[in-house]
């Protein structure tokens, strides 16, 4: 692993900044505050620097896309609503007691596990 990538990995000791999964080969580097690209050019280059880079699993990075953290939280929090609305087998599984909804708020790994020095 190159030194810059290793330093980003070390921010979470190898966990996804968002979901907390242990990172596997192919993990992504995410811009915590999103960068906006137009035709490949970064429109807010002040965000393209080390302090704004965090380790992420590919699925969280792709899902977060260019969202800020509160929009990303809203998106994930809305998944249960969408499952109930859109997925018949989810509703059946719930009726049979196979799924129990918790009503929990979305809390990201970095909110649970990091201190101010680790980012």
Figure out which of the listed residues 9, 19, 32, 58 binds Zn ion, where binding follows CB under 5 A: 19
By the rule CB under 5 A, 8 interacts with Zn ion: no
Q: How far apart are CA 119 and CA 112, in angstroms?
A: 13
Of 102, 106, 103, 101, nearest in space to 67 by CA: 106
By the rule CB under 5 A, 23 interacts with Zn ion: no
Find the shortest distance in angstroms from Cβ 45 to Zn ion: 26
By the rule CB under 5 A, 16 interacts with Zn ion: yes
By the rule CB under 5 A, 57 interacts with Zn ion: yes
Q: How far apart are CA 58 and CA 25, in angstroms?
A: 10
Question: Which residues are near Zn ion by CB under 5 A?
Answer: 16, 18-19, 57, 60
């Amino acid at each position: 692993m190159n030194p810059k990538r290793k330093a980003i990995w070390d921010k979470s000791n190898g966990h996804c900044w968002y979901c907390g999964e242990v990172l596997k080969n192919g993990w992504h580097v995410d811009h915590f505050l999103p960068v906006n690209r137009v035709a490949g050019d970064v429109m807010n280059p002040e965000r393209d620097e080390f302090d704004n880079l965090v380790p992420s699993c590919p699925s969280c990075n792709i899902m977060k896309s260019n969202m800020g953290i509160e929009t990303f939280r809203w998106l994930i929090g809305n998944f249960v609503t969408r499952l109930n609305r859109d997925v018949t087998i989810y509703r059946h599984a719930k009726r049979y007691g196979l799924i129990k909804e918790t009503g929990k708020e979305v809390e990201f790994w970095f909110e649970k596990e990091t201190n101010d020095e680790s980012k």
